[in-house]
């Protein structure tokens, strides 16, 4: 899978979301390792909780999202940690 990082102001992204989502409804699901078994998704880029939050100094600490067609419901997979704890991550199922 290819990953692309780019930087834009929220106002620029809102215009982009509006154009893209008018042609194809999308789902944005937060990625990463979480304790919850529920994948948190929004159906509009304008509703991303991190959209108007200042990014941390390291881009690796910024929230990232799995973007899929709106009808795709990402599933959650369990990931065992070396400490013995369990975390979960969202994945797109075809």
pLDDT tens by residue, 29-80: 988 877 777 788 999 999 999 898 877 776 667 788 889 999 998 888 888 8
User: Does a structural domain hold residue 83?
Assistant: yes
Q: How are beta strands 65-69 and 41-42 bridged, if at all?
A: unpaired
Report whether 30 contacts 40 (CB < 8 A): yes
User: Does a structural domain hold residue 1?
Assistant: no
Give the number of other CB atoms < 10 A from CB of residue 20: 13
User: Does a structural domain hold residue 86?
Assistant: yes
Q: Quote the domain boundaries for residue 20.
A: 10-91
Number of domains in the chain: 1
pLDDT of residue 74: 86
User: Does a structural domain hold residue 5?
Assistant: no
User: Does a structural domain hold residue 53?
Assistant: yes
User: Does a structural domain hold residue 45?
Assistant: yes
User: Does a structural domain hold residue 84?
Assistant: yes
Residue 92 pLDDT exceeds 80: no
pLDDT tens for 14-34 read 999 999 999 999 999 988 877
């Amino acid at each position: 899978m290819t990953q692309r990082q780019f930087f834009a102001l929220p106002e620029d992204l809102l215009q982009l979301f509006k154009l893209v989502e008018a042609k194809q409804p999308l789902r944005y699901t937060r990625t990463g390792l979480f304790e919850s078994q529920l994948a948190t998704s929004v159906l509009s880029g304008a509703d991303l909780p991190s959209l108007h939050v200042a990014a941390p100094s390291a881009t690796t600490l910024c929230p990232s999202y799995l973007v899929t067609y709106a009808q795709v419901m990402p599933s959650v997979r369990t990931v065992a940690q070396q400490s013995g704890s369990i975390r979960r991550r969202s994945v797109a199922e075809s």
